[in-house]
Amino acid sequence: MSTNEIIPANNKISDELTEADKQIIQSKLWLLLKRRTELYTMGDSSSVRIETAQELMRSIEFCIGLYLKHSGSSRKLLAESELEELFSLGQKLIEEQLELGKKLYSKACLTAPEIENLSYQDTLRSIGGFFKHYDYRFFAHLIPCDIDYQLCNPVRESMLGIEYLNDYLGRIIIENDFVRKFNKESAESLLKAYCSDYKGLLINLYSPLAANSVGLALLDEDVKALNITAEDGDHLSSLFGTLSATPAKKALHEAALHVCSELNISDPSSVRYLLKTAEALLPRISAALPHGNLGGIFITF
Amino acid sequence: MENDFSLELVREQIQLETQKLRNSNEFSVKYGLMLSEGQIQSLVERRFESLRDNGRIEFGEGVLNKLIHSFCDSPYINQQNYEESLSELQDAFYYFKNETDERLSDDELIEYMKDTFDGKAQGSIEYLTATSLEELRRNARRGFIDDVDDADTQNEEL
């Protein structure tokens, strides 16, 4: 039995601390793990599988880490305070986030685009089960649902539990609102041209619409039309052919702002989301430009 | 640092377990069973090996004290096989904790082990681990924690 098995050497909690602090925290963590394990087994079992203890420890780290992050507290607090108290404060934050998560989920369902996509629908359905299966008292870091639908700008992999879910839902709401700005038939035509089996395959609904609307904004055309004709594509190739990286990035940035203006998108998160999406087009454009065809980025239908 | 800390925790657990086993002699002596200091040390060491072999982690005292209190009145345990039996029962206990998918509490598992050890197994730990608890494991996974012996007895009567 070794604490090395449950307290990783590169434990995030352990940076910025002296060796003495670390030793105190290790000791407190062990005692908290013992207490949580007793509660988990309800006193029925003196031992648990190592894998279970590891998960319980990750949950403790997640709860305490969440509290430190939200309160802006220094990690020194870990050495100076009762970890059980910090853990409880973290649990309260999780309860609050759970309530927020339920509201976000409801909004995500209500704003879901009417475009058929299997992974999107399966993911939303599965997230509904998250709220039944999320055992935040013992396994707060886990995400007990299947999230298959790929976002245009994914959630950071370091996020866990309810924090991950809420971030995912926040992003999907942004994408929903954007997709719903367009005529359904036009959006479906674009998606079909982008991927013939857009209903069945794991594709993101937002990104082709974002790319084409930004492309149209660059050409000063109607962003809601969505279609980038072959001629438009040639113009875009010519445009980017004359621009170096910095002006190209600036052009994409301005085009994204123009799209937001045209579509009445004023929410700062949604604006940032589209700006990030537009700027992410640049490496793809740079890679495609030497071949003289941006048809894989700006879609013609 | 972590290794020092880990060693300190293990040392603490060893001390606790050793003292518990010394105290248990006062109880088991009524049944003519005693553990020497050497046997106590050996059993405590075996506890950590058994936990490691079975991929488990334990806080506080181990299960030996409970095993002693439950098994010391068994007709199949005597002073000659006392240490060996406890060691094997301890191994079997951690093994079956995994096998029963944690669906049995420590006390339930020990109770079943004792019933089977004194009953169908007739003191054979090999039989206990190879047959009877395997049966229990299957039943426990199906959600039935019925007394297998009762069912067998009824079948025999029919």
| Mean pLDDT within A20-40 | 90
Residue-wise pLDDT tens digits, A181-233: 999 999 999 999 999 999 999 999 999 999 999 999 999 999 999 999 999 99
Distance of alpha carbon A255 from the chain centroid: 24
Structural domain contains residue B157: no
Structural domain contains residue B58: yes
Chain A CB contacts of B55 below 8 Å: 49-51
Report the pLDDT value the prediction gives residue B6, as an integer from 0 to 100. Answer: 58
ipTM attached to this prediction: 0.79
Do A97 and A109 meet the contact criterion of CB atoms below 8 Å apart? no
Nearest chain A Cα to B61, which residue?
A46
Report the pLDDT value the prediction gives residue A186, as an integer from 0 to 100. Answer: 95
Q: Where are the domains of chain A?
A: 3-84, 182-301
Q: Angle at the Cα of A103 (from A97 to A109), degrees rounded to 5?
A: 130
Pick the closest to residue B104 from A46, A282, A226, A235 (CA basis).
A46
Structural domain contains residue B102: yes
Do A61 and A53 meet the contact criterion of CB atoms below 8 Å apart? no
Structural domain contains residue B90: yes
Average pLDDT, chain A: 92
| Mean pLDDT within A63-67 | 95
Structural domain contains residue B71: yes
Structural domain contains residue B158: no
The pair phi, psi for residue A263, each rounded to 5°, is -95, 5
Bridge partners for A48 per DSSP: B57
The model's pTM is 0.84
Nearest chain B Cα to A19, which residue?
B1
Structural domain contains residue B123: yes
Structural domain contains residue B6: yes
Q: Quick check: A45 and B102 CB within 8 A? A: yes
Report the pLDDT value the prediction gives residue A49, as an integer from 0 to 100. Answer: 94
Chain B CB contacts of A3 below 8 Å: 2, 5-6, 9
Q: Quick check: B48 and A44 CB within 8 A? A: no
Q: Where do runs of H (alpha helix) occur along chain A?
A: 19-41, 50-71, 76-80, 83-110, 118-133, 136-139, 161-179, 184-194, 206-218, 230-241, 245-262, 268-279, 281-288
Residue-wise pLDDT tens digits, B121-150: 899 998 888 866 667 655 545 544 444 444
Q: Mutate which of A37, A40, A42, A47 to test chain B, going by most B C-beta atoms within 10 A?
A: A47
CB under 8 A, 24+ apart: contacts of B105-112: B105/A44, B105/A45, B106/A44, B106/A45, B106/A46, B106/B63, B106/B66, B107/A44, B107/B66, B108/B145, B110/B63, B110/B66, B110/B67, B110/B70, B111/B70, B112/B136
Distance of alpha carbon B55 from the chain centroid: 16
Q: Which residue range is the domain that position B12 belongs to?
A: 2-149
Q: Quick check: B56 and A49 CB within 8 A? A: yes
Structural domains in chain B (count): 1
Pick the closest to residue A24 from A32, A68, A10, A57 (CA basis).
A32
> Residues 34-73, chain A: which have Cβ within 8 Å of B?
34, 37-38, 41, 44-51, 53
Chain A closest CA to B30's CA: distance in Å? 27
Chain B CB contacts of A30 below 8 Å: 5, 9
Buried b (16+ CB within 10 A) or exposed e, A253-285: bebbbbbbeebebeeeebbebbbebbbebbeeb
| Mean pLDDT within A272-279 | 97
Q: Quick check: A45 and B106 CB within 8 A? A: yes
